[in-house]
Amino acid sequence: KNQVEQSPQSLIILEGKNCTLQCNYTVSPFSNLRWYKQDTGRGPVSLTIMTFSENTKSNGRYTATLDADTKQSSLHITASQLSDSASYICVVSERKNTGFQKLVFGTGTRLLVSP
């Protein structure tokens, strides 16, 4: 069964500190992996997208890594800000026979940045 698991479930860090969120997946065949940020009650916003051949992708203070061999990804947040408080969702695209890529969502990591 295609699954995406994230850890930790929740995390509290002090403002200015760094943190790393983990994502393990079993989705196959694999197409690409995205990290989304979702504020409470809002829609997810894409942070990064990586295909099979990409190992790392940065977007400002966000850096995502991908190891397609071990089927693991991480999202590193540098110099955290209060506005980083949100849920971070790892989403893996599954390539289906119809050509449509169904997204398999992880359950997310809820990050709270404390002053």
Nearer CB in complex with another protein: 44/80: 44
Q: Show the site string, 51-80: x = touches another protein by CB under 8 A, - = not.
A: x-----------------------------
Q: How far is the CB of 67 from another protein (least distance, A)?
A: 19
Residue 34 to residue 31: CA distance in whole angstroms: 10
Specify the amino acid at residue 25.
Answer: Y
The CA distance from 22 to 9, in Å, is 10
Q: Any contact of residue 99 with another protein (CB under 8 A)? A: yes
Strands (E), 8-71: 10-14, 19-25, 30-38, 45-51, 56-59, 62-67
Using the rule CB under 8 A, is 95 a contact of another protein?
yes
Residue 69: φ, ψ to 5°: -70, -45
Of residues 14 and 45, the one with the C-beta less far from another protein: 45
State the pairing for strand pair 109-114/10-14. parallel
Residues 18-37, interacting with another protein (CB under 8 A): 31-32, 34, 36
- What residues make contact with another protein under the rule CB under 8 A? 31-32, 34, 36, 41-46, 49, 51, 89, 93, 95, 98-103, 105-108, 110
